[in-house]
Structure 1
């Protein structure tokens, strides 16, 4: 149970000081003279004392075993595999009661297509081993950059479709949206692995957790941007071919892409000025889109109005990225003082 109490600091000679530990706490963890304790100095000045028995205790095993008598619910099975993946498990052994059936292989193939680095590395009559071949040392920033590149390419594809209605770009846009989802899952996996390595990071635990939280929020924002872009794209395919609409939408997509680039650069480079710039740019684009939406009142403009509403939602997400970037940049400035 959490509690606080005052204890006196004592001088024990030379340059050493001592503070006694609560007796019941020492007994709870079976500590004795000579045992090692981890002393962590936090950023705000407080100190955490952690028994060695707790260090790494919550770390999940790198190998998991699933006993599967029969594949009754494929979606439940996939959710469990996804959970092991994002927890950082490297190897998943699946034991079956019956021989591997074609429908089970179809589900497994869907899993391997959905998760970056997951491959079937062993297959016997009643046992399959899935392994994650992605390096744990892959940086979260590199995943963020790849997600940013994918979103920009999706926007470029949409503008290309607006310009010439080339049906060949359709599948590539859908594929890239799926890649954004796959990289999001990978980022969550890397964040969980980072949590397990927290004590080796060189940062205080609070500082490290804030860093991971910032990355989690940004990757989630990028995933939401990708989803919103796909809503826009679905409406674009059904929109009546109008040069006026095409010009407006293409211009606004280009503006959103520019704002997204500035916001992401601000986050990755901890650039306060660019973070403010992206916030103001997103606000300006949103105001313009709202005016355009108010002018689209006829029945013929319903689909255009839905597109503009999704673009307004994109601006809201971009402002969220900008706000996170501002907070991160301010903290970086304080660390330099």
Structure 2
């Protein structure tokens, strides 16, 4: 850290000189404007970025017929989440067909990504979505609606014997994943650009809380998928007996916890978050009762029932994690 003395000029203006190396690296010239942003902790941020546009960054990947398809797909997702605005895949010879397939799958899943240029040897993908157009709260709310519907329909499929409804739940998991990727991408963009943080009206600490909660909701979505998968197994077995009603009641408890957790987040209500945490033991008792009831079935059926019960319990526990994240954030913000 460099230490520089504050000087007074004109009797009322306080000035401090800028580090020469930083000025050169930033490309600042005489009379160029710089932005001054007061941070929540009292520090002052000096930035050459005074416009709200996201900095343009490009990532290039060289591919060939030997390139692993799963690996390149993961690289595309990684570049997207990292905040690159342009992604280019190129080959020394003709671009392999399997790479074009991975690009199509990527642009279908990643929000705002479109192919803007394509030749025999390269494909260029560009981000067409402004981060400010998708506020964090809206994305989290959408994720909550999707996950809640998945869990509800997975349990409903079991209680009503509707196998097609359970299969439909499995197809919705990608929608949750793509929204989580968007939150992760915007988190990186906001943390790298204080101007964007101001434009979106969120503090860096709130952004991190949204990211953590998005990750938790994505995991709840995974458990909703497990509920649906185990519902299909139990429907095929056809021997659930009295456990179905117990599953319905435990599911209702976990869904109530999830709803209350999200309400405490959006209302920034510390006490409501704490009250939700107090209700977790009720769900744990219901889950234990289901596991005990499962012992009357054969091994395969019992395993599916216990796995389903575990996913319902984990949904409630993850809801508790959301509440703890809300409490931690509010305490940090001085609530």
TM-score if structure 1 supplies the norm length? 0.80
Local SS of the residue matching 1:223: helix
Residue in structure 1 matched with residue 169 of structure 2 by the alignment: 173
Corresponding position of 1:241: 239
> Does the aligned pair in 2 maintain the 1:71–1:104 contact within 8 Å?
no
Tell whether the 8 Å contact from 1:267 to 1:328 is kept in structure 2 after alignment.
no
How far the C-alpha of 1:288 sits from its partner, in A, is 3.2
Equivalent residue of 2:279, what SS?
A: helix
What is the match of residue 256 of structure 2? Answer: 258
Q: Tell me by how many angstroms 1:15 deviates.
A: 5.4
In structure 2, the partner of 1:282 is 280
Q: 1:290 to 1:13 in 2, by over 3 A?
A: farther
Structure 2 CA distance for aligned equivalents of residues 49 and 192 of structure 1: 18
Question: Cα RMSD (Å) of the superposition?
Answer: 3.4
Q: Give the equivalent residue in structure 1 for 2:324.
A: 323
Change (3 A) 1:269 1:332: farther
Aligned partner of 1:152 in structure 2 is 148
Q: 1:114 aligns with which of 109, 117, 124?
A: 109
Give 1:40 shift.
4.5
1:130 to 1:171, Cα distance in 2 relative to 1, 3 A = farther
1:125 to 115, 120, 127: 120
CA 1:238–1:227: 2 relative to 1, 3 Å: same
SS at match of 2:67: coil
**Residues 264 and 273 of structure 2 are in contact (CA less than 8 Å); yes or no, is this contact kept in structure 1?**
yes
- Residue deviations 1:157-189 (CA, integer Å, cap 9, x gap): 112201222222133211111211111111111
Distance 1:100 1:17 in 2: 59
Asked whether the 8 Å contact 1:162–1:250 carries over to 2, the reply is: no
- C-alpha separation between the residues in 1 aligned to 2:321 and 2:60? 40
Does the C-alpha gap of structure 1 residues 296 and 71 become closer, same or farther in structure 2, counting only changes over 3 Å?
same
- In the TM superposition, residue 35 of structure 1 has moved relative to its aligned partner by 8.5
- Contact 1:283 / 1:319 at 8 angstroms: preserved in 2? no
User: What is the distance in 1 between the residues matched to 2:241 and 2:297?
Assistant: 18
Query: In structure 2, how many angstroms separate the alpha carbons of the residues matched to 1:42 and 1:224?
Result: 33
1:33 offset after TM fit, Å?
10
Write the deviation string for residues 287-312 of structure 1: whole angstroms up to 9, x where unpaired.
43235435654563343223223333
Query: Shift of the alpha carbon at 1:146?
Result: 0.9
Cα distance change on mapping 1:225 and 1:49 into 2, 3 Å: closer
Aligned residue number for residue 305 of structure 2? 304
* Map of 1:162 onto structure 2: 158
Distance 2:118 2:78 in 1: 22
The question of whether the paired residues in 2 share the 8 Å contact of 1:100 and 1:126 is answered with: yes
Secondary structure of 2:260's match? helix
- Cα shift at 1:90: 2.7
| C-alpha distance 219-198 of structure 1, shift in aligned 2 (>3 A) | same
**Do the aligned partners of residues 296 and 125 (structure 1) sit closer, same or farther apart at CA in structure 2, a change above 3 Å counting?**
closer
Query: Distance between the aligned counterparts of 1:211 and 1:191, measured in 2?
Result: 10
Question: How far off is 1:256 after superposition?
Answer: 1.1
**CA displacement 1:204-236 (0-9 Å, x = unmatched):** x9x822111101110010011111222233222
Unaligned runs of 5+ residues in structure 2 are none
Q: Do the aligned partners of 1:69 and 1:96 also contact (CA within 8 Å) in 2?
A: yes
Secondary structure of the 1:134 match is coil
Q: Is contact 2:243-2:290 (8 Å) kept?
A: no
Aligned to 2:60: 65
Kindly report which structure 2 residues correspond to 1:10-49, keeping only aligned pairs within 5 A, or say none: 26=19, 28-29=21-22, 40-45=37-42, 47-48=43-44
Q: TM-score, normalised by structure 2?
A: 0.81
Query: Counterparts of 1:17 and 1:127 in 2: how far apart (Å)?
Result: 53
Number of aligned pairs?
A: 321
